[in-house]
Amino acid sequence: MTKTFTTMVMAIIALAVFSLPAWATETPVTGGVLKIAIDSDPPTLDVHSTRATLAVYVAGNVYEGLYAFTRKGEIKPMLASGMPDISADKLTYTIPLRREIKFHNGKAMTSADVKASLDRWGKVASYGKQLFAHIESVTVKDDYTVVITLKEQWGTLMSSLAMLLGGPVIYPEEICTQYPAKPSAEYIGTGPYMFVEWRPNDHITLKRFDGYKALDTASDGYTGRKTAYLDQLVFYGISEEPVRVNGVEGGEYDFADFVPSDEYERLKDEKNLRTYISPPRAWFVFVLNTKFGPTKNKKVRQAMLATLDVKGTMAAGYGDEIFWRVDPSLALKEQVWHSTAGEAAYNQNNIEKAKTLLKEAGYNGEKIVWMAGPLEYNLSLAAKSNMKKAGLNIDLQSMEWATLLSTRKNPELWHAFSSGFTAKADPSLTTAMNLKYGAGWDNPEAQALFNNFCTEPEFESRYAILGKFQELVYSEVPYIKVGDYKNLRLSSNKVHGFANELYLYFFNVWKDK
């Protein structure tokens, strides 16, 4: 009896002791520095001026817009105090602003800052330019009310206002005046962390903004309560993958993004580490030149599409299947916009069909110059081998991004290039629907569908239009969708509260001392 009792007591004590750390870590801790290794320095932190995802990883902690997306893609107010009051003709949006907001320089945010920011975004940002073609004016009604007047009904207004990557985040008016067109070199926002310093090619430091007024709604994606538990966030741009992984394993960094997927098996059971597989964030594409060279011929493009074996290509280029998936949609499966329209043409792996199409096209083995950057080279190589079987003469050229981006500007020099399209809350904001991308896609039907998609206010009608657009993509083949991809992230087990979402952000994250 005594022995049994002693054993039970020991077991209870052991349970209490061993469960203590796990229980203790659930309580957020304030303080500390989080060192984050990302795969490169962002080109700029001026979100208006770039579509580079890396910029948002840092700047998403610094800046906020009038609205923001929840995890499910719903739009919620952020710097606005409520949803806009929309006029009956749906042309006037009156937006009330929160009154207690301060910028990191201590200045209170008013409608003058919001107007200046929206106007600058409309001139500088590519999304802004697209939207402002349909905006009549942005006016200040009073210190805390802004009015946006549209020239015509435009369905993407709210999604655009809620967007962070390349979106209309709010800067102080003086920053907009000082940098009317060039990328800003001063980074003043309203977010939970404020910019401290950027040591070129070394690190970017943010610190907690004590004047931050968090919303009292529950945290959900970029909306709701944002708490800056950490004293500082330090971002290191490290392009060498082993350095990022070794850095977290050795304790020098707390978090690393874009960890090589083949490290997953080794790292997932390490007791001092945590691995995270991100949700699908983008998809690989082969963009084809519809204006010059052999790919100008639709049947050649259709033949290239017919050869595609998605599984083989993704496995060769992106490793284990847990990091990618086969899906024909121009929106992610997790989004309401997901569609299977035109899927019969996706993932055909039909070499005979491709041969027939090439014969009908009168293709005589003309060289197809195909450019691929480092991330996409292997999967392009795998796709090329199938195309070669069909008789396509592919000249696949590996090049670093700077050269590819520069060569891409001259459509006479290339016929295809590999790239990635990131998912957006509204499909009209994705590169998949951008008819000016690459060599451009001059297709009146696609243009009409895009315009209708943007002007149509009802979801059901918009969804139907998107389906038609997707079918058109699969029949005209301006680009070939390959597969959705995820990436591996790694942190020390001292890091808690990390929301493993599409983009990285570190508010609501804390670290054990």
Partner 1 sequence: MALVLLVVSITIFIVMHLLPGDPAAIMLGPEATNEDIAVLKAEMGLDKPVWIQFVDWTGRIVRGDLGNSIFFQNRSVPDVIADHLEATLLLTLFSLGLATVIGIFSGVVAASTHESIYDRGFMLLTSMAVAIPNFWLGLMLVLGFAIMIPILPAAGYSPLSQGVWSCLSYLVLPSITLAAGAVALIARMTRACMLDVLRNDYIRTAKAKGVRQSFVIFKHALRNAIIPVVTVIGMSFANLMGGAVVTESIFNIPGVGRLLIKSVFTRDYPVIEGVVLYIAIAWTLINLMVDIIYTLIDPRLEY
**In 3D, which of 95, 131, 130, 91 has the Cα closest to residue 114?**
95
E strand or H helix that includes residue 111: helix 111-124
Among 61, 339, 419, 487, contact with partner 1 (rule: CB under 8 A) = 419
Minimum separation from the CB atom of position 52 to partner 1 (A): 4
422 binds partner 1 (CB under 8 A): yes
Residues 118-147, one symbol each (x = binds partner 1 by CB under 8 A, - = not), give --------x--x------------------
196 binds partner 1 (CB under 8 A): no
**In 3D, which of 77, 82, 84, 79 has the Cα closest to residue 103?**
79
Q: Which residues, 6 or more positions from 329, have their beta carbon under 8 angstroms from its beta carbon?
A: 337, 338, 339, 340, 470
Task: Give the single-character DSSP code of 503.
Answer: S
Check: CB of residue 286 under 8 Å from CB of residue 383. yes
Among 25, 29, 52, 215, contact with partner 1 (rule: CB under 8 A) = 52
Residues 152-191, one symbol each (x = binds partner 1 by CB under 8 A, - = not), give --------------x--------------xxx-xx-----
Q: Which ranges of 295-443 would DSSP assign to H, the alpha helix?
A: 298-306, 310-318, 351-361, 377-390, 401-408
Minimum separation from the CB atom of position 143 to partner 1 (A): 31
Q: Which residues, 6 or more positions from 426, have their beta carbon under 8 angstroms from its beta carbon?
A: 155, 156, 159, 160, 337
How many residues contact partner 1, by CB under 8 A?
Answer: 55
**In 3D, which of 135, 150, 155 has the Cα closest to residue 462?**
155
50 binds partner 1 (CB under 8 A): yes
Q: What SS3 state is found at 129?
A: helix
Among 201, 271, 364, 458, contact with partner 1 (rule: CB under 8 A) = 201
Q: What does the alpha-carbon distance between residue 363 and residue 299 come to, in Å, rounded to a whole number?
A: 9
Check: CB of residue 58 under 8 Å from CB of residue 149. no
Q: Using CB atoms within 10 Å of the CB of residue 250, give its burial: 0 to 12 exposed, 13 to 18 middle, 19+ buried.
A: exposed
Among 420, 456, 494, 503, contact with partner 1 (rule: CB under 8 A) = 420
Minimum separation from the CB atom of position 129 to partner 1 (A): 8
Token representation of residue 404: 């590819």
Minimum separation from the CB atom of position 194 to partner 1 (A): 17
Minimum separation from the CB atom of position 431 to partner 1 (A): 5
243 binds partner 1 (CB under 8 A): yes
395 binds partner 1 (CB under 8 A): no
Minimum separation from the CB atom of position 250 to partner 1 (A): 3
Contacts (CB under 8 A) with partner 1, residues 70-129: 126, 129
Q: List contacts with partner 1 (CB under 8 A).
A: 41, 43-44, 49-53, 55, 126, 129, 166, 181-183, 185-186, 198-203, 236, 238-240, 242-243, 246-247, 249-253, 373, 400-403, 405-409, 419-422, 431, 434, 436-437, 440
